[in-house]
């Protein structure tokens, strides 16, 4: 797994993911073959690529093949740009990426460049984020452990609380609370990559305890962080 400002890319075994609901957009690509997407809004769909929006309960079954997951910061113009690359919409999901073959080819290389993968996944950004929401997401990312409230964040970017929450959902595609969890997850990943243990990293990132972090990670990702590392995952921080 590669991490850089506001983004993450994973390539590796599909693992056994439970039903989960992420905080950010996730582009899933079957590297070695198709996977099956299950969601409450439809029974199932077998595809080679799918874009999953935040806060959408789902499950991926990949039949033991390798997967590529691109986690796209909703505070980035890359998120709406990635939606432009999907050729079909199935309820809340996008399926069949326009450059699916190119993504599969890149993910199959031993020297895969995660930044190049993200560029292909998203293409050129078509919009710019509202500057006040861009400032808000930057504040949250820079200080993930800070117990900032929506009222405090709104004051820092010169908005009312109600206006901040409305614009956050409209422009970022996720909620303020979900985005704060995403920033804290990235902070834990960075700390673990630098040699920290999960307990210290989780508390330093703002989680109340290791169990709080573990429960949140499982709800977001469909497996525990320990299961991910036990499967041989390595975390690399690019920035």
Q: In terms of residue numbers, what domain contains 29? A: 2-122
Note whether 13 and 103 are same-domain residues. Answer: yes
Q: Is residue 59 part of a domain?
A: yes
Q: What whole-number percentage of the chain has pLDDT above 70?
A: 97
The pLDDT assigned to 47 comes to: 95
Q: Is the predicted pLDDT of residue 66 greater than 70, yes or no?
A: yes
Distance CA 39, CA 75 (A): 25
Is residue 109 assigned to a domain?
yes
pLDDT exceeds 70 at position 57: yes
**Is 192 a member of any domain?**
yes
Q: What is the mean pLDDT of residues 184-189?
A: 91
* For residues 32-51, average pLDDT: 90
Residue 239 within a domain: no
**List of residues 6+ apart from 55 with CB closer than 8 A:** 21, 22, 23, 174, 175, 178
How confident is residue 5, by pLDDT bands cut at 50, 70 and 90?
Answer: confident
In a domain, 57, yes or no: yes
Q: What is the CATH number of the domain that holds 203?
A: 1.10.10.60
The interaxial angle of helices 131-142 and 176-193, nearest 10 deg, is 40
Cβ-based neighbour number of residue 125 at 10 Å: 15
53 plus 108 within the same structural domain: yes
Domain identity same for 35 and 113: yes
Closest CA to 49 of 24, 67, 74: 67
Mean pLDDT of 40-53: 89
**How many CB atoms sit inside 10 A of residue 152's CB?**
12
Which of 122, 156, 184 lies at the terminal end of a domain, its last residue? 122
Instruction: Tell me the average pLDDT across 205-223.
Output: 90
Residue 48 forms part of a structural domain = yes
Residues 104 and 145 in one domain: no
Assess whether 91 and 175 both reside in one domain.
no
59 and 29 in one domain?
A: yes
The residue written with tokens 């890359």 in the block is: 78
User: In terms of domains, do 20 and 115 share one?
Assistant: yes
Mean pLDDT calculated for residue range 198-227: 90
At 239 the pLDDT is: 65
Residues 115 and 151 in one domain: no
Could you read off the pLDDT of 104-124 as tens digits, one per residue? 999 999 999 999 999 999 987
This prediction has a pTM of 0.85
List the strands of the sheet with 35-39, edge to edge.
Answer: 42-47, 35-39, 58-61
In this predicted structure, what is the pLDDT of residue 238? 82
Answer yes or no: do 90 and 168 share one domain.
no
Rounded Cα distance between 96 and 29, Å, is 9
Output the domain CATH number for residue 52. Answer: 2.60.120.280
- Whether residues 113 and 139 share a domain: the answer is no
177-193 mean pLDDT: 90
Give the model's pLDDT for residue 228.
85
Query: Average pLDDT for residues 52-63, to the nearest whole number?
Result: 90
Determine the Cα–Cα distance for residues 199 and 35; give it in Å rounded to an integer: 33
Pair 82, 168 in one domain: no
pLDDT recorded at residue 78: 81
pLDDT tens for each residue of 120-145? 999 876 666 788 988 999 899 899 99
pLDDT at 172 over 90: no
Domain boundary among 103, 122, 141: 122
Q: Is residue 86 part of a domain?
A: yes
Identify whether 236 is part of a domain.
no
Confidence of residue 29 (pLDDT cuts 50, 70, 90): very high
State which of 122, 146, 179 marks the end of a domain. Answer: 122
Looking at the structure, tell me whether residues 112 and 14 fall in a common domain. Answer: yes
Number of domains the chain contains = 2
């Amino acid at each position: 797994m590669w991490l850089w400002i506001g983004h993450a890319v994973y390539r590796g075994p599909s693992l056994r993911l439970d039903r989960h609901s992420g905080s950010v957009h996730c582009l899933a690509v079957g590297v070695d073959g198709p996977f099956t997407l299950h969601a409450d809004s439809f029974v199932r769909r077998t595809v080679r690529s799918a874009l999953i929006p935040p806060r959408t309960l789902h499950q991926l079954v990949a039949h033991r093949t390798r997967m590529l997951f691109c986690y796209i910061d909703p505070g980035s113009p890359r998120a709406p740009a990635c939606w432009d690359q999907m050729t079909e919409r199935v309820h809340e999901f996008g399926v069949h990426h326009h450059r699916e073959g190119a993504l599969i080819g890149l993910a199959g290389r031993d020297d895969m460049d995660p930044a190049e993968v993200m560029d292909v996944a998203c293409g050129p950004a078509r919009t710019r984020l509202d500057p006040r929401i861009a400032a808000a997401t930057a504040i949250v990312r820079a200080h993930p452990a800070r117990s900032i409230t929506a009222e405090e964040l709104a004051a820092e970017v010169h908005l009312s609380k109600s206006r901040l929450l409305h614009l956050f959902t409209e422009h970022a595609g996720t909620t303020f609370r979900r985005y704060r969890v995403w920033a804290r997850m990235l902070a834990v990943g960075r700390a673990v990559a630098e040699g920290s243990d999960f307990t210290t990293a989780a508390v330093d990132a703002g989680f109340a305890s290791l169990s709080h972090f573990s429960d949140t990670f499982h709800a977001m990702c469909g497996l525990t962080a320990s299961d991910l590392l036990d499967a041989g995952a390595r975390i690399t921080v690019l920035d």
